[in-house]
Chain A
């Protein structure tokens, strides 16, 4: 599966998924634009894709992201994974839609969106949306927002880490589980410093 970095908004905000691929949003694009809106159009039968958005928000760079997986052809599948870390006074606004048209039988489409709150005074908007017109399908979404677990921090601190180091490690683990799925090493290496989780 190819890995494609989305570093600019595609024309007409549509990416046609014509062969199986992994799409990774460039965190710089997400932070640099007011709103980033991309529709992934599944018009070719049998294609599989992964959509990955990882970002860390701070006060100066709110992220507003809208993705849509629109299934038209049969037997396509899509997995959307979004991971956001919120630092002080930041905003993450994510709308993730799965749209399965009547013609798209045998579709599987999933969306998994998690927001980890690290800072104070944060704001989250989450709109995971399902619009399902066919019945031979599997579709689901999950969305969570929560603070860094105090007991995890306590455990790490009791092992001699400072609070900052402990938090950094948890944030790293939070992104790592998705970064590990990125097939192309150069994309992975590009993302790590942008997420504030550089060298180990």
Chain B
């Protein structure tokens, strides 16, 4: 039997912060001048500056949402909205500053592995510092850049798609992101291209009270395939920090795109993210979403199935520990005939944590023969923890086939007893049962993420029983 406390040194390994070293930092808080300043710092075209300012006024006009988690503690005036850690994007690994290298060292990305990654865009605070693309991708015509860079290099594609899936007026946090966005990835997969290795990005928040507002725009052209992976490991801070990203994905006819996220924000981060994909004819969009850490996560990846035969899928895991609220879910909007979707959600609540599934399945009158299946399972590990399920189904078509199932349970005594009778401690037995519970989703992850997720869960489980 393998020792399941593999990663007991996790905190000392990842719970750290490297000395901050910024070239430029806007003052705390936000006003029109700061928004313009961000745009000027980035040498952006005029339309982007105007869009930012418009989005800022939308942000001001919208109240905080009153549903979901408690957002009343966020002080928008106490946040730095833009930090620029280094002057230019580094070209090779050797040019990357030592402090940043140390960070990645501690994140545990082996050098050898880096060279095999399809391309690493590591977000150290607000700018992509290090990016390297394999020649193979370049040959295929794949564009994988920091979003700021993409705006400079491909302004036409950018203007055509930016904000079309998630307009600034969509919600308060999408407006905030549009006003102050910085960093993130831009991906373009040309027609018919299959990218074999996952495209990877690492995100970190490193400055005290640093809001991170990355903006990701992905276009999978006709018949293409790619898998994008992002993972987050944030250092532990005591002050509240806001992360509000926007991810837009456009899946063209016949294309297939998978977006995998494993997030482990520190326990003081508000993680308020808008992720949405527009899926055209016979396209397939898959969101794989793992939410650990953070004080409050509100995130509902969605698929707008606009083309006939489009398919959407969301697989999500939420793990709510001490003082944490994971309000996660998924949205499937069926707008065209013969569209189908699946949502599978697993959540674990422990040590007073609360996990909520909040979802929407909508079928419009034009979407004949739509099919949707939703499955939510929740595990509550102790008497202090809680779990909610709020799936909304709105079906305005008489040919739809919709199924929803949800269960909430605790870990069965008999399972624990069996495992303990085989010599495991209670904590180990509990860890195994939890790993088994989330396994259907973990097996969809790339190997290194599956390993990391299991380690994170083991770490979280320590001290939760007994």
Contact = CB atoms under 8 A, between A and B. Distances in A.
A124 B395 contact: yes
A12 to B, nearest CB: 24
Nearest to B397: A122
B402 A122 contact: no
B390 interface: yes
Contacts of B383: 102, 105, 134-136
B387 A132 contact: yes
Contact of B388 (A123, A130, A142, A145): A130
A97 B378 CA distance: 16
Interface string B86-120: 00000000000000000000000000000000000
A143 B405 CA distance: 6
Given A142-B405, A144-B403, A146-B401, A129 B390 contact: yes
A141 B407 CA distance: 6
A131 B393 contact: no
Contacts of A135: 380-383, 385, 410
B380 A132 contact: yes
B64 interface: no
B409 interface: yes
Contact of A127 (B393, B401, B402, B403): B393
Interface string A104-133: 010000000000010111111111111111
Main secondary structure of the interface of B (DSSP, over half): strand
Interface residues of B, number: 32
A143 B410 contact: no
A135 B391 CA distance: 21
8 contacts: A123-B396, A124-B394, A125-B395, A132-B387, A135-B380, A137-B409, A140-B405, A140-B407
Interface in B404-447: 404-410
Contacts of A134: 380, 383
A119 to B, nearest CB: 7
Contacts of A130: 378, 387-389, 406, 408
Interface in B355-397: 365, 378, 380-383, 385-397
Nearest to A93: B394
A126 B363 CA distance: 12
Contacts of A125: 392-395
B217 interface: no
A20 B152 CA distance: 70
B168 interface: no
Contacts of A126: 391-393, 395, 402, 404
A132 B402 contact: no
Q: Which of B382, B391, B408 counts the most A-chain CB atoms under 10 A from its CB?
A: B408
A153 to B, nearest CB: 14
Given A120-B398, A135-B382, A147-B398, A128 B408 contact: no
Contacts of B391: 126-129, 143
A139 interface: yes
B402 A144 contact: yes
Interface of B: 365, 378, 380-383, 385-410
Contact of B400 (A132, A139, A140, A146): A146
Interface in A143-200: 143-147
A144 to B, nearest CB: 5
B384 to A, nearest CB: 8
Contacts of B406: 128, 130, 140-142
Given A124-B395, A128-B389, A145 B401 contact: yes
Contacts of B386: 131-133
A86 interface: yes
B395 A140 contact: no
Most B-side CB within 10 Å, residue of A126, A135, A138: A135
Given A126-B404, A128-B404, A146-B400, 19 more contacts: A105-B383, A117-B398, A117-B399, A121-B365, A126-B392, A126-B402, A127-B391, A129-B389, A130-B387, A130-B406, A132-B387, A136-B410, A137-B409, A139-B409, A142-B405, A143-B403, A144-B402, A144-B404, A146-B402
A138 B397 CA distance: 33
A142 B398 contact: no
Contact of A137 (B390, B396, B404, B410): B410
Contacts of B394: 124-125
A127 B392 contact: yes
Given A122-B398, A135-B381, A138-B409, A143 B387 contact: no
A35 B326 CA distance: 32
A93 to B, nearest CB: 10
A129 B388 contact: yes
A54 to B, nearest CB: 20
A117 B401 CA distance: 10
